[in-house]
Amino acid sequence: MRLFKRKKYPWEEDDEDQEDEFENPADWSVRQELEKQFDNPKHDQIYEENPFANLDTSNMDLRQELKAKFDALEGDEEDDDDFDDDFSQDVDYDLYGQGFDKNFIDEMLQNKTYQRALNEYAIPNEGGYVNLANDPGKETNMGISKATYKNEDIKNLTRERANAILYKDFWNWNGINKLPPEVAGFVFDHGIRTNPQNAVKTTHRVLGIPENASIIGPETLKKLNNMDLEEFLRRYKELVRQQDQRRNGYKHFGRGWDNRTNRYHLSR
């Protein structure tokens, strides 16, 4: 979701011939099967057994849509605060600054997968304000760099505004948010470390997809669905280490970068 037009970032390339891979017709047989499972009174047990893991379908959009519906059912039963219509009363929207309206902020705050990715990766991995001469990011705060966001007040950036920028320009970039929740977090984190386009290209390299592709679409999701996620994680970490060793600054920051990569894991 984009609220306004922005300039193209350095990591983005012109790709006029790129097919729009986001269009994917619904797989009604899968929908019907999953909805039967949602209606099962023992759905707590079904959820623990992860019925989504063995589905023979490339329609990951549908899987995530239905899983969200399933999680919402659980939330209703447990009176989960995440689904409280009045949650916005506790939100200080002014902390997000200009460019983010209430609907966008509410959507972000209720996106459980994104909030988990923030808490598992972005918030612990990206510290506060730094401006080190040897750091490739230069002036940086909570993952937001002056090199990319020239009009941002990096030093006085709020946590809320940083989260919104990461959601708009990193999480929602070219399908990273379409990835299975088990792997979306560390791919998102690699996009923060380098750039979102590189995070997507690294995903494609692991899956054997030509690197000129720049979108997480049906082909990517189908290959990922047919791959053991532990193996995907292992290969992804290996490629990240190789990339880091070629980056400027590895001599000074390599140990920290390696430790960050070592913390990549499948979210459960």
Per-residue model confidence as pLDDT tens digits over 110-130: 999 999 999 999 999 998 999
Mean pLDDT check: name the lowest of 20-29, 37-46, 145-154, 195-204.
20-29
**Domain ranges, ordered by start, for the chain:** 27-84, 102-262
Say what the pTM is. 0.69
Phi then psi dihedrals of residue 139, to 5 deg: -70, 115
Q: Which SS3 state, helix, strand or coil, does residue 243 take?
A: helix
Tell me how long the chain is. Answer: 268
For residues 211-234, average pLDDT? 93
In angstroms, rounded to a whole number, what is the distance separating the alpha carbons of residues 105 and 267? 24
H or E stretch at 139: strand 139-141
CB contact burial 115-136 (16+ within 10 A = b; e otherwise): eebbebbbbebbeeeeeeeeeb
The pair of three-digit structure tokens given for residue 230, joined into one six-digit string: 């532990």
CB contact at 8 A, 199 and 176 = yes
pLDDT beyond 70 at 162? yes
What CATH architecture is 102-262?
Up-down Bundle (1.20)
Helix (H) and strand (E) counts in the chain: 12, 3
